[in-house]
């Protein structure tokens, strides 16, 4: 391959990656606004200022593009490498959980991009991609968290009460995430800043953790 040909090839690859990134970003915004069923490949290409066949060319179709978008969402919410890194640190299980919660709250509540809205929409109205996302993106994170929580609680992970504890501890964060942009909040008579609310939810997590840890499992 000549030097000029190599330069052109490298340039084409960079252009192709830039186009893919632009398509994912535009697709994410449209999917978050209109849902999976309400967004067409034509809509995405138009928004991304890309060729009408770009979705098929770069991703193999709308479903594969949506899968790529959801994978980006999961990296955005809480990258698995962050959880792995924290899990390997030489600190207590409670300290690991504190760090993970801090990261989750930072990425899940502080930012206002389309990623959160799309994930909530996906949870409430699952697409054909949900099974693959749970298998490849959710479960690996859940397994790492389970190991840390098992250490913190002293429960056997096979015991049904361990899973009850898991949901009891993390459910408030899920509910807070679901409700954070709800118009119903404006009608609630008592209002707190997001920072205060997050602090309270996090404090409740460790209070509940301590109470569950004292529960003897027979």
**Of the candidate ranges 23-27, 107-111, 135-139, 148-152, the one whose mean pLDDT is the lowest:** 107-111
DSSP string spanning the chain? --HHHHHHHHHHHHHHHHHHHHHHHHHHHHHHHHTTTT--HHHHHHHTT--TTHHHHHHSSHHHHHHHHHHHHHHHHH-HHHHHHHHTSSS-HHHHHHHHHHHHHHHHHS--SHHHHHHHHHHHS--TTHHHHIIIIIHHHHHHHHHHHHHHHT--TTSHHHHHHHHHHHHHHHHHHHHTT-GGGGG-SS---HHHHHHHHHHHHHHHHHHHHHSPP-
Q: Say how far apart CA 186 and CA 123 lie, in whole Å.
A: 23
Cβ-based neighbours of 189, under 8 Å, separated by 6 or more: none
pLDDT digit string, tens, across residues 64-113: 999 999 999 988 888 899 999 999 999 999 999 999 888 887 766 666 68
pLDDT of residue 102: 84
pLDDT of residue 190: 65
pLDDT digit string, tens, across residues 34-68: 999 999 999 999 999 999 899 999 999 999 999 99
Closest Cα to residue 82, out of 102, 63, 67? 102
Dihedrals phi, psi of 35, to nearest 5 degrees: 80, 170
Q: What is the pTM of this model?
A: 0.79
pLDDT band at 11 (very low <50, low <70, confident <90, very high): very low
pLDDT of residue 67: 96
pLDDT of residue 69: 96
pLDDT digit string, tens, across residues 153-210: 988 888 888 888 888 888 877 776 666 666 666 666 666 676 777 788 889 889 999 9
């Amino acid at each position: 391959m000549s030097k000029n040909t190599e330069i052109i090839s490298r340039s084409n690859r960079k252009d192709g990656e830039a186009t893919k990134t632009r398509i994912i970003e535009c697709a994410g915004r449209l999917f978050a606004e209109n849902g999976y069923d309400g967004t067409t490949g034509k809509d995405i290409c138009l928004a991304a200022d890309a060729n009408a066949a770009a979705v098929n060319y770069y991703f193999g179709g709308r479903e594969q593009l949506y899968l790529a978008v959801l994978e980006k969402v999961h990296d955005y919410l809480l990258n698995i490498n962050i959880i792995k890194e924290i899990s390997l640190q030489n600190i207590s299980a409670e300290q690991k959980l504190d760090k993970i919660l801090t990261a989750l709250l930072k990425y899940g509540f502080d930012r206002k991009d389309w990623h959160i809205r799309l994930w909530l929409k996906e949870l409430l109205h699952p697409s054909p991609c949900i099974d693959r996302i749970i298998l490849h993106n959710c479960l690996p994170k859940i397994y790492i968290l389970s190991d840390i929580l098992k250490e913190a609680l002293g429960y056997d992970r096979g015991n049904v009460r361990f899973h009850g504890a898991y949901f009891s501890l993390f459910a408030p964060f899920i509910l807070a995430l679901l409700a954070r942009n709800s118009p119903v909040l404006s009608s609630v008579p008592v209002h707190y800043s997001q920072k205060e609310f997050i602090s309270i939810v996090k404090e409740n997590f460790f209070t509940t953790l301590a109470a569950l840890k004292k529960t003897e499992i027979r």
